[in-house]
Structure 1
């Protein structure tokens, strides 16, 4: 079913029309660790170079790493590998939004983690209108 929908749908990734016709005469400037491709060409209404991303997989803006986000929004002029310092050893790689997946954060007491939470410590005092 996926191969039949690809020519017509944009939410499953770039359609064939985008790849075949929309990128003609444009320049591919790089790729991120997730495989997304970044392109530049033409100019926007402000006269700046037009920049965009072609996602690998579903179109999800949370899958754009912060460095490439800066490039897409003209916060830096050159591609991130040349314009930004190398990442520090303590920095973690960017992750896509995990909400709605099995890897999403679940606090203690969430039903997905068993539904048990720590007992109240006794420091809570309910408000009453007379008090």
Structure 2
């Protein structure tokens, strides 16, 4: 049985899981279409006009694989096959790391502990009287 905290997160924190409204709408009008490798479940209305995802965990748009992204945005009409083979040039999925320890920090970033290179002589500051 889920804890009270789990239910509170569903009511007040849409970023943790689907809200009650989404779950109710899914139960009433959702037709299951498929599941991706991350456990996200995809639905659509009976007429196929609306498509949505119930995330398995944190609600983060970057957690939708490219093939499902195409289907979600009506670029393709058929959902991806469950047995799609990975192309040789495809990289493994990497979630959005912004705000985490794994975020990218360029050379010279203060977070990275670097020191910015001094400005060179090609910079001339703007002056309103010049």
TM-score by length of 1: 0.71
Q: Which residue of 2 aligns with 1:8?
A: 11
Gaps of 5+ in 1: none
Q: Which residue of 2 aligns with 1:34?
A: 38
Q: How many residues were matched structurally?
A: 121
Cα distance, 1:20 vs structure 2: 5.4
- Maintained 8 Å contact 1:7/1:17: no
Q: CA RMSD in A?
A: 2.9
Gaps of 5+ in 2: none
Deviating 4+ runs (over 4 angstroms): 117-120
1:74-109 Cα shifts (integer Å, max 9, x gaps): 111111227xx7431121133322111111111111
Q: Which residue of 2 aligns with 1:114?
A: 113
Q: Which residue of 2 aligns with 1:105?
A: 104
Secondary structure of 2:46 counterpart? strand
